[in-house]
Amino acid sequence: MDQTEINAGSTGDGARVVLEEAVRRLDATPRRVAVIAADPALVRAGRDGGARLVVGIERTGRRAALEAAGADVVLTDVSQLDLGVLRCDPWTLAYEGFDPAHEGHREALTTLGNGYLGTRGAAPESHDDGVHYPGTYLAGVYNRLTSTVQGRKVEDEHIVNVPNWLVLDLRIGDGPWWSEGGLTAAAERRELDLRRGVLEREVQLTDTAGRGLRLAQRRLVSMHRPHLAALETTVAPQGWSGVLGVRSGIDAGVVNANVTEYAGLADRHLTEVTARRPDPGVLVVQALTGQSRIAVATAARTVVTDATHTWSVPDDTDGRFADRIDVDVVAGRSARIDKTVAVVSSRDRAISTPVQGALDELARAPVDVAGLLAAHEAAWARLWSRFHVRLHADRDAQLVLHLHLFHLLQAVGPHSADLDSGVPARGLHGEGYRGHVFWDELFVLPVMTMHMPEVSAALIEYRWRRLGAARQAAAQEGLTGALFPWQSGSDGREETPAQLFNVRSRRWMPDHSSRQRHVGLAVAYNAWQYFGSTGDTAWLARRGAELIVEVARLFSGLAEYDPDDGRFHIAGVAGPDEYHDGYPGAPGAGVRDNAYTNVLAAWVCRRAGDALLALAGHDCDELVDRLGIRADEQTRWAQLGRRLAVPFHADGVISQFDGYEALAELEWDRYRATYGNIGRLDLILEAEGDSTNRYKLAKQADVLMLVYLLGPAQLIDLLRDMGHSVTPDTVPRTVRYYLQRTAHGSTLSRVVHASVLAHTDTTRAWAMFRDALVADLDDTQGGTTREGIHLGAMAGTIDIVTRSFAGLRLRDSALTFDPRLPVDLHHVDFEVRHRGQRIAVSLDHERLLLESCPCAAAPPVTVTVAGRDMTLEEGHTLEVALPRTGSGDLLGTPLVSPATSPDDSDR
**Least distance from ligand BGC to the Cβ atom of residue 660, Å:** 18
Query: Strands 335-345 and 228-238, how do they pair?
Result: antiparallel
Q: Which is nearer to ligand BGC, 751 or 872 (CB)?
A: 751
Cβ neighbourhood burial of 414 (10 Å; 0-12, 13-18, 19+): buried
Query: Is 746 an interacting residue with respect to ligand BGC (CB under 6 A)?
Result: yes
**Least distance from ligand BGC to the Cβ atom of residue 425, Å:** 4
Using only C-alpha atoms, the chain has a radius of gyration, in whole angstroms, of: 28
- Of the candidate spans 379-387, 433-441, 808-816, 877-885, the one that interacts with ligand BGC by CB under 6 A turns out to be 433-441
Q: What share of the chain is helix, strand, coil (3-state, %, to 5)?
A: 35, 25, 40
Q: Which is nearer to ligand BGC, 179 or 700 (CB)?
A: 700
Q: Which is nearer to ligand BGC, 433 or 531 (CB)?
A: 433
**Least distance from ligand BGC to the Cβ atom of residue 744, Å:** 10
Angle, alpha carbons 282-283-285 (nearest 5°): 155
Contact 697, 742 (CB under 8 A): yes
Q: Which is nearer to ligand BGC, 125 or 440 (CB)?
A: 440
Q: Which is nearer to ligand BGC, 784 or 816 (CB)?
A: 784
Contact 167, 247 (CB under 8 A): yes
Q: Which is nearer to ligand BGC, 433 or 530 (CB)?
A: 433
Interactions with ligand BGC, residue window 399-428 (CB under 6 A): 425
Q: Which is nearer to ligand BGC, 205 or 425 (CB)?
A: 425
DSSP code, position 437: B
Angle, alpha carbons 476-481-486 (nearest 5°): 70
Which position among 67, 188, 431, 578 bears the catalytic label? 578
230's CB contacts (< 8 A; 6+ apart) are 219, 220, 222, 338, 339, 340, 341, 368, 369, 372
Query: Is 128 an interacting residue with respect to ligand BGC (CB under 6 A)?
Result: no
**65, 748, 757, 806: residue in contact with ligand BGC (rule CB under 6 A):** 748
- Of the candidate spans 267-275, 436-444, 616-624, 634-642, the one that interacts with ligand BGC by CB under 6 A turns out to be 436-444
Q: Which is nearer to ligand BGC, 103 or 440 (CB)?
A: 440
At residue 106, the 3 state secondary structure works out as helix
**Least distance from ligand BGC to the Cβ atom of residue 439, Å:** 5
Question: Cα dihedral sign for 467, 468, 473, 476?
Answer: positive
**Least distance from ligand BGC to the Cβ atom of residue 767, Å:** 22
> With b meaning 16 or more CB within 10 Å and e meaning fewer, what string describes 53-63?
bbbbbbeeebb
CA atoms within 13 A on the CB side of 249: 25
At residue 247, the 3 state secondary structure works out as strand
Helix (H) or strand (E) run with residue 650 in it: none
**Least distance from ligand BGC to the Cβ atom of residue 600, Å:** 14
Interactions with ligand BGC, residue window 666-725 (CB under 6 A): 699-700
- Of the candidate spans 431-439, 615-623, 650-658, 769-777, the one that interacts with ligand BGC by CB under 6 A turns out to be 431-439
Integer Cα distance of 572 and 512 in angstroms:
11
Q: Which is nearer to ligand BGC, 679 or 732 (CB)?
A: 679
Query: Strands 136-138 and 198-207, how do they pair?
Result: unpaired
Integer Cα distance of 814 and 824 in angstroms:
29
Smallest CA-to-CA distance from 269 within 143, 154, 164 is with 143
Question: Does residue 578 have an active-site annotation?
Answer: yes
Query: Is 792 an interacting residue with respect to ligand BGC (CB under 6 A)?
Result: yes
Neighbours of 781 (CB within 10 A): 19
At residue 407, the 3 state secondary structure works out as helix
Query: Is 795 an interacting residue with respect to ligand BGC (CB under 6 A)?
Result: no
Smallest CA-to-CA distance from 377 within 233, 194, 200 is with 194
Q: Which is nearer to ligand BGC, 433 or 769 (CB)?
A: 433
Neighbours of 264 (CB within 10 A): 12
Q: Residue 229 pairs with which residues in a beta bridge? A: 221, 341
Smallest CA-to-CA distance from 600 within 676, 518, 543 is with 518
Q: Which is nearer to ligand BGC, 416 or 905 (CB)?
A: 416
**Least distance from ligand BGC to the Cβ atom of residue 440, Å:** 5
**58, 232, 377, 440: residue in contact with ligand BGC (rule CB under 6 A):** 440
Residue nearest to ligand BGC (CB): 438
**Least distance from ligand BGC to the Cβ atom of residue 456, Å:** 18
**439, 464, 817, 830: residue in contact with ligand BGC (rule CB under 6 A):** 439
Q: What are phi and psi of 702, to 5 degrees?
A: -125, -75
- Of the candidate spans 230-238, 434-442, 714-722, 845-853, the one that interacts with ligand BGC by CB under 6 A turns out to be 434-442
Query: Strands 390-392 and 282-289, how do they pair?
Result: unpaired
Contact 127, 134 (CB under 8 A): yes
- Of the candidate spans 110-118, 217-225, 269-277, 432-440, the one that interacts with ligand BGC by CB under 6 A turns out to be 432-440
- Of the candidate spans 2-10, 18-26, 111-119, 437-445, the one that interacts with ligand BGC by CB under 6 A turns out to be 437-445
746's CB contacts (< 8 A; 6+ apart) are 679, 699, 700, 793
**Least distance from ligand BGC to the Cβ atom of residue 442, Å:** 9
**137, 387, 438, 555: residue in contact with ligand BGC (rule CB under 6 A):** 438
Contact 583, 687 (CB under 8 A): no
**Least distance from ligand BGC to the Cβ atom of residue 433, Å:** 6
Size of site (CB under 6 A) for ligand BGC: 12
Query: Is 597 an interacting residue with respect to ligand BGC (CB under 6 A)?
Result: no
Q: Name the residue type at position 491.
A: D
**Least distance from ligand BGC to the Cβ atom of residue 793, Å:** 8
CA atoms within 13 A on the CB side of 767: 17
Interactions with ligand BGC, residue window 528-587 (CB under 6 A): 576, 578
Helix (H) or strand (E) run with residue 668 in it: helix 668-675
What residue ranges bind ligand BGC (CB under 6 A)? 425, 433, 438-440, 576, 578, 699-700, 746, 748, 792
- Catalytic residue numbers? 578
